[in-house]
Structure 1
Amino acid sequence: MPSPQDFDRIAAQLSPGRDPVSVRRRLEAVEGILERMFILPGINRPVGLDSIVGLIPVVGDIVTASMGAWLVWEARNLGMSKWHLTRMAGNVGVDTLIGAIPLVGDVFDFAFRSNTRNLRILKKWLDKHHPATMTVEGEVVAR
């Protein structure tokens, strides 16, 4: 279970700025909420709201697809190439289509973390095009 300090840390990262550093922090925080917010006891596997909300038929799939699409929208606002945006949208699409299948989709959501994949694409792009946003152990490194 997340501690109150975890919630405070996440809230601090959700700054409304449009600069690449603010966007990176916000997307890292959202990805943590969606994919790694809780640890399942017994197997010590992190799960997030994406897997939990996805258990609700139809509505859960729409909500999780919307959250994933928001990450792609933020990447678009940063000026990412169409190739990267297509890859990210493909990850969300695969997660949504297979996630919509009852039971099989729930297991798939547990294993296929589209938001984590999309954050990895975004971080790699930011490190190349906005090197001032690089982070080391959670702290932004200015070059």
Structure 2
Amino acid sequence: MTARAATGFAGRMHDPAPRLAETLDQLDRLANLLDSRWRIPGTNWRFGVDAIASIVPVAGDVSTAIVSIYMIKRAHDLGAPGHVLARMVGNVAFDTVAGSVPVIGTVFDAAFKANRRNMRLLRRHFEGRR
């Protein structure tokens, strides 16, 4: 960690762990909204905004991919290493391309939860560091 990242206002030291935990919690909430916000009654199958947006081929998937890219940028800002970021980009790219296929893509988006996968990658990385 750089000295700049570890210092607060007026150069005082502060613990970056609360910022990390808070940011991961925010990203978790966003991933939940995108991938698993609602449950189909009588089942354990969950879906989110990503599946709903994919009803509009290509445009819906591109718009949710932009939100997913924002999440990757936040992961980068937290200091996630290149190999974790690359896997996150791969998950989003796969989700966007496969989800863009009319009809089948909507079902795919409900089943393949790229943002939840990305959050597992991030948490595994950061929790393994402590």
Show structure 2 runs of 5+ residues with no match: 1-17
Look up the match of 2:97: 97
| Alignment deviations for residues 62-112 of structure 1 (CA, whole Å, 9 cap, x no partner) | 111111111111110011111110000000000001111111211211111
Total equivalences in the alignment: 113
Look up the match of 1:57: 57
What is the TM-score of this pair, normalised by structure 1?
0.74
Contact 2:36–2:46 under 8 Å retained in 1: yes
Question: What displacement does 1:48 show?
Answer: 0.8
Look up the match of 2:126: 126
**Inter-partner Cα distance in structure 2 for 1:114 and 1:22:** 21
Structure of larger gyration radius: 2
Look up the match of 2:5: none
What is the TM-score of this pair, normalised by structure 2?
0.81
* Structure 1 vs Structure 2 CA RMSD: 1.5
Look up the equivalent residue of 1:33 and give its one-letter code: L
Look up the match of 2:11: none
**Identity level (%):** 34
Show structure 1 runs of 5+ residues with no match: 1-17, 132-143
Look up the match of 2:74: 74
Give the structure with the larger helix fraction.
2
**Inter-partner Cα distance in structure 2 for 1:61 and 1:43:** 25
| Alignment deviations for residues 45-67 of structure 1 (CA, whole Å, 9 cap, x no partner) | 11111111111122211111111
Look up the match of 1:88: 88
Look up the equivalent residue of 2:88 and give its one-letter code: M
**Inter-partner Cα distance in structure 2 for 1:35 and 1:93:** 15
Look up the equivalent residue of 1:119 and give its one-letter code: M
**Inter-partner Cα distance in structure 2 for 1:106 and 1:31:** 17
Question: What displacement does 1:42 show?
Answer: 3.7
Look up the match of 2:110: 110
Look up the equivalent residue of 2:55 and give its one-letter code: L
**Inter-partner Cα distance in structure 2 for 1:109 and 1:58:** 12
